[in-house]
Amino acid sequence: MTQSSVTVADIAIVGLGEIGGRFLDEILRLRDRGIRVVCVAQNSDTPGKQRAQDAGIPLKTVDEIVALGGAVDVIFDLTGHPEVRKDLRAKMQATGNRHTIIAPETMARMLWAVISDEQLGEGHTSRGY
């Protein structure tokens, strides 16, 4: 079995602004390592949203992502808005989904440091869970 035939994680990205868009680009560059972006959420028009659409990645609402349940291993919340993270956590808890992990920007930054030689930039000030 080749490495590219193994799915390591099915992820969703919420927030495709500057940070989320750059994160998406890097993850897409490494798709042969088994990280699959199953969908993204972004309300406003951004270059990252356009790149996701160009790559054929489904655009969904947060509610639609939550409804996917265990089909998503990790949801990266890269909005920089604590209220979005709080809402996302509440919706996930209401579904009883014990599989999907909600990863805040801190986790994306840590992953970025491992997979890229570039700096991600400061971006958002809210980095807590």
pLDDT band at 106 (very low <50, low <70, confident <90, very high): confident
Residue 83 covered by a domain: yes
Residue 99 covered by a domain: yes
Residue 123 covered by a domain: no
pTM of the model: 0.86
For 35, the 3-state DSSP assignment is strand
pLDDT band at 105 (very low <50, low <70, confident <90, very high): confident
Cα angle at 28 between 114 and 60, to 5 degrees?
A: 115
Residue 34 covered by a domain: yes
Cα angle at 54 between 5 and 107, to 5 degrees?
A: 60
Residue 120 covered by a domain: no
How many domains is the chain partitioned into structurally?
A: 1
Look-up: residue for tokens 């590219």?
4
CA gap 34, 47 in Å, rounded? 24
* CATH assignment of the domain containing 29: 3.40.50.720
Domain with 25 in it: 3-115
74, 48 in Cβ contact below 8 A?
Answer: no
Q: Is the pLDDT of residue 45 over 60?
A: yes
CA max distance for the chain: 42
Task: State the chain's mean pLDDT as an integer.
Answer: 88
